[in-house]
């Protein structure tokens, strides 16, 4: 018999998981405290801009295998496995905020006390190592001790903007478990979930927690590494970080991915998990020197963008600057930790008139900046009368930009390609600067 699934926390991991699980034939209920979200999902509308999610949601809604509710109690009692996918954001103090996770665990524990059958609680949210041991298991108390409930840690490696794809085609499944009963149950679930079953690695709970942090910290390290090389290239004539990245990426020991120089890593995960790993290192008395350096390099990328603008003498009152791309990366409307937010505040401070364009993120940006800046859905309109065009996100539309359009619409000839998506040779009549490109 297929296990019945509940998923608690319908964010960018929980919602795709709920929908995908139902689409793979499991009776699945998605739970979220936000009634607005639940109503929207029940009417077939996803509030997350993930390619393929809307279509999959509409498909499964007609199948009768999926339900959405705010009622944790019924959802948990009527299922065999609960995936915990609530957010673990950072507090203003820089610590990981475990309150959503611990509140959800308390509510679930309450329901499980009244449930007669065995239940598996699977933690998918990213947590600092030892959180399961020190916080989650104590909340479950005798339920976990007596074996009525098992806990497993099953980190998720999906990326925003390709969540459905990554969920359906993972490179590895990590199962952190205390005993064979829980790892076997989760393995059985995934064997039924996937037509082509991915490799499954069973570890201790603690190792599984650390794997997730190590994975994101390593990706962040690669980015800060190539951005450090980009800084060297920028200070050296006739050099180009793109070519360096291509060459070192050919070495199979290094690999080509995550070697794209740019504005630094943003989003809700890499910056947050690095902070979490630094905090955890300190907690156990280890000096997080490397992780701090990765963070410092990332912070400094913003200053490099500003420096290029200063060299072009565009940061002054009365000038207009066009920002192309607000999302922290293409394929999403997410602007959390996006360099665009920091840069626009900076330009406003210096009296620059800011014009912004993005295929998806304009509305989110408007919520922060209101009428302090101008918003454009048309590229030529965004460029009209501008003194500098700064490309911050690697959207496909910007890759097709032509010198002729820029020269015809802008007031001055300054271009800054922070994402390295344009061919500098094709902008020879302009004052063209780019991250990691020696002048």
Write out the catalytic residue numbers: 269
Give the nearest distance from C-beta 248 to ligand UGA in angstroms. 13
For ligand UGA, the binding residue among 9, 11, 128, 266 (CB under 6 A) is: 266
User: Which stretch in 1-9, 79-87, 261-269, 317-325 sits in contact with ligand UGA by CB under 6 A?
Assistant: 261-269
For ligand UGA, the closer of residues 219 and 241 by Cβ is 219
Give the nearest distance from C-beta 61 to ligand UGA in angstroms. 26
Q: SS3 letters for 286-304?
A: CCCHHHHHHHHHHHHHHHH
For ligand UGA, the closer of residues 115 and 272 by Cβ is 272
Binders in 121-180 for ligand UGA, by CB under 6 A: 126, 156-160
For ligand UGA, the closer of residues 119 and 260 by Cβ is 260
SS3 (DSSP) at 347: helix
Give the nearest distance from C-beta 214 to ligand UGA in angstroms. 12
Tell me: does residue 262 bind ligand UGA (CB under 6 A). yes
Tell me: does residue 358 bind ligand UGA (CB under 6 A). no
Contact 175, 209 (CB under 8 A): no
Contact 193, 218 (CB under 8 A): no
For ligand UGA, the closer of residues 81 and 223 by Cβ is 223
For ligand UGA, the binding residue among 118, 190, 194, 258 (CB under 6 A) is: 258
Binders in 223-252 for ligand UGA, by CB under 6 A: 223
For residue 53, give both structure tokens. 């999610």
Q: How far apart are CA 265 and CA 338, in angstroms?
A: 8
Q: How far apart are CA 315 and CA 77, in angstroms?
A: 59
Provide the 8-state DSSP code for 109: H
Binders in 326-355 for ligand UGA, by CB under 6 A: 328-329
Residue whose structure tokens are 């999926």: 66
Tell me: does residue 302 bind ligand UGA (CB under 6 A). no
For residue 322, give both structure tokens. 């066009």
SS3 (DSSP) at 84: strand
Contact 41, 16 (CB under 8 A): no
Tell me: does residue 219 bind ligand UGA (CB under 6 A). yes
User: Which stretch in 25-33, 216-224, 286-294, 308-316 sits in contact with ligand UGA by CB under 6 A?
Assistant: 216-224
Provide the angle, in degrees to the nearest 10, between the axes of the packed helices 270-283 and 205-234: 120
For ligand UGA, the binding residue among 72, 115, 260, 420 (CB under 6 A) is: 260
For ligand UGA, the closer of residues 72 and 222 by Cβ is 222
Give the nearest distance from C-beta 173 to ligand UGA in angstroms. 13
CB atoms within 10 A of CB 246: 12
For ligand UGA, the closer of residues 303 and 408 by Cβ is 303
Q: Which residues contact 325 (CB under 8 A, 6 or more apart)?
A: 340, 357, 358, 391, 392, 393, 394, 395, 398, 419
For ligand UGA, the closer of residues 212 and 355 by Cβ is 212
For ligand UGA, the closer of residues 126 and 353 by Cβ is 126
Give the nearest distance from C-beta 368 to ligand UGA in angstroms. 18
User: Which stretch in 184-192, 201-209, 260-268, 409-417 sits in contact with ligand UGA by CB under 6 A?
Assistant: 260-268
Q: Which residues contact 103 (CB under 8 A, 6 or more apart)?
A: none
For ligand UGA, the binding residue among 6, 82, 131, 216 (CB under 6 A) is: 216
Contact 152, 120 (CB under 8 A): yes
User: Which stretch in 56-64, 256-264, 410-418, 430-438 sits in contact with ligand UGA by CB under 6 A?
Assistant: 256-264
User: Which stretch in 55-63, 167-175, 262-270, 409-417 sits in contact with ligand UGA by CB under 6 A?
Assistant: 262-270
Give the nearest distance from C-beta 127 to ligand UGA in angstroms. 11
CB atoms within 10 A of CB 184: 13
Comparing CA positions, the residue from 86, 79, 210, 102 lying closest to residue 149 is 79
User: What distance lies between CA 153 and its chain's CA centroid?
Assistant: 19
User: Which stretch in 34-42, 129-137, 267-275, 409-417 sits in contact with ligand UGA by CB under 6 A?
Assistant: 267-275
Give the nearest distance from C-beta 77 to ligand UGA in angstroms. 29
> Count residues contacting ligand UGA (CB under 6 A)?
20
Q: How far apart are CA 325 and CA 305, in angstroms?
A: 14
For ligand UGA, the closer of residues 335 and 401 by Cβ is 335
Provide long-range contacts, Cβ within 8 A and 24+ apart, for 239-242.
239/437, 239/438, 240/436, 240/437, 240/438, 241/420, 241/435, 241/436, 241/437, 242/420, 242/436, 242/437
Q: Which residues contact 246 (CB under 8 A, 6 or more apart)?
A: 256
| Interface residue list for ligand UGA (CB under 6 A) | 126, 156-160, 216, 219, 223, 258-260, 262, 265-267, 269-270, 328-329
């Amino acid at each position: 018999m297929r296990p019945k699934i509940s998923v608690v926390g319908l964010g960018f991991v929980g919602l795709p998981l709920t929908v995908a699980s139902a689409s793979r034939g499991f009776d699945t209920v998605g739970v979220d405290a936000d009634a607005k979200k639940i109503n929207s999902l029940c009417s077939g509308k996803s509030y997350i801009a993930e390619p393929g999610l809307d279509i999959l949601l509409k498909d499964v809604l007609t199948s009768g295998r999926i339900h959405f509710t705010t009622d944790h109690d019924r959802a948990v009692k009527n299922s065999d496995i609960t995936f915990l996918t609530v957010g673990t954001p950072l507090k203003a103090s820089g610590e990981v905020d475990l309150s959503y996770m611990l509140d959800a665990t308390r509510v679930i524990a309450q329901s499980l006390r009244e449930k007669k059958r065995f239940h598996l609680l699977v933690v998918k949210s990213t947590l600092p190592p030892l959180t399961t041991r020190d916080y989650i298991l104590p909340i479950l108390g005798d339920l976990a001790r007596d074996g009525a409930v098992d806990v497993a840690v099953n980190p998720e490696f999906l990326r925003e903007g390709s969540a459905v794809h990554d969920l359906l085609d993972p490179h590895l499944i990590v199962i952190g478990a205390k005993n064979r009963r829980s790892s076997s149950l989760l393995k059985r679930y995934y064997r039924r979930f996937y037509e082509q079953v991915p490799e499954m690695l069973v570890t201790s709970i603690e190792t599984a927690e650390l794997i997730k942090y190590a994975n994101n910290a390593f990706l962040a390290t690669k980015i800060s590494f190539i951005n450090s090389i980009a800084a060297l290239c920028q200070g050296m004539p006739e050099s180009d970080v793109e070519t360096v990245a291509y060459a070192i990426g050919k070495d199979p020991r290094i690999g080509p991915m995550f070697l794209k120089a740019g504005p630094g890593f943003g989003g809700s995960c890499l910056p947050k998990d690095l902070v979490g790993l630094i905090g955890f290192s300190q907690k156990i008395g280890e000096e997080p020197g490397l992780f701090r350096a990765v963070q410092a390099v990332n912070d400094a990328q913003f200053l490099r963008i500003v420096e290029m603008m200063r060299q072009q003498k565009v940061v002054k009152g009365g000038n207009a600057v066009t920002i192309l791309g607000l999302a922290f990366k293409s394929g999403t409307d997410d602007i959390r930790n996006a360099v665009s937010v920091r840069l626009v505040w900076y330009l406003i401070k210096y009296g620059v008139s800011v014009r912004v364009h993005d295929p998806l993120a304009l509305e989110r940006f408007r919520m922060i900046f209101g009428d302090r800046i101008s918003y454009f859905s048309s590229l030529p309109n965004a460029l009209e009368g501008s003194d500098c065009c700064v490309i911050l996100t690697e959207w496909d539309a910007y890759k097709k930009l032509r010198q002729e359009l820029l020269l015809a619409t802008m007031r001055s000839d300054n271009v800054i390609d922070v994402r390295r998506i344009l061919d500098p040779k094709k902008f020879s009549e302009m004052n063209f600067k780019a991250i990691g490109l020696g002048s």
